[in-house]
C-alpha cells in the first residue's frame, strides 16, 4: 500500500475534536491530515488521496455538509469512505446520511476503530498484519 493510502483526512475545525483524532490515530498506523478553516477539502483529498475521511459536524456551520457534497460529486474522490461524527440527532442533520458511517459524539476509541473497520480499513493501520 502506498504512503498516500495511509492518510486519513480529518475535516473538523474544533480543537478538541482534532486533539481527540490525534490521540486515537496515534494508536493506529494512519497519519492524519487536518483541514483548516478555509481549506479546500476537495483539493486536500486530491492531494493526499486518503484511505478515509472523518468529518465532524460543526454547529451552525455548513462547511462539513458542503465539503461532503463536493467530495461525493468528484469522480476521483467519491469512492473514499467518509465517516461523519455528529453531535446532533441524525434527523436534524439529514446531510449526514450521505456518509458511509455515522457516529455520535462523544466519540470513544472503540468507536474510532469500529468506524475504520466498517469502511474496510484495518483499525490498527495498514502496515500491521495479524497472523
Mean pLDDT of 81-102: 70
Q: Please report the pLDDT score of residue 4 as a whole number.
A: 47
Does the domain at 3-118 match CATH 3.40.50.80? Answer given as no
Average pLDDT, the chain: 78
Higher per-residue pLDDT: 52 or 85: 52
| CA–CA distance, 99 with 54 (Å, rounded to integer) | 10
The beta strands (E) that lie in the chain are given as 7-11, 31-35, 52-56, 82-86, 101-104
Mean pLDDT of 32-50: 88
CB distance 18 to 34 below 8 Å: yes
In percent, how much of the chain has pLDDT > 90? Answer: 17
Q: Domain segments of the chain: what residues?
A: 3-118
pTM: 0.80
- Could you identify the residue written with the cell 483548516? 36
Mean pLDDT of 69-88: 86
Amino acid at each position: 500500500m502506498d504512503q498516500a493510502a495511509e492518510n486519513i483526512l480529518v475535516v473538523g475545525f474544533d480543537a478538541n475534536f482534532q486533539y481527540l483524532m490525534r490521540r486515537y490515530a496515534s494508536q493506529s498506523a494512519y497519519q492524519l491530515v487536518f483541514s483548516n478553516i478555509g481549506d479546500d477539502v476537495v483539493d486536500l483529498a486530491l492531494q493526499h488521496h486518503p484511505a478515509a475521511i472523518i468529518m465532524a459536524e460543526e454547529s451552525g456551520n455548513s462547511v462539513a455538509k458542503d465539503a461532503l457534497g463536493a467530495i461525493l460529486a468528484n469522480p476521483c474522490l467519491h469512492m473514499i469512505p467518509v465517516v461523519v461524527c455528529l453531535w446532533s440527532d441524525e434527523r436534524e442533520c439529514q446531510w449526514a446520511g450521505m456518509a458511509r458511517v455515522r457516529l455520535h459524539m462523544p466519540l470513544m476509541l472503540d468507536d474510532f476503530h469500529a468506524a475504520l473497520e466498517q469502511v474496510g480499513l484495518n483499525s490498527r493501520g495498514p502496515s500491521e498484519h495479524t497472523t
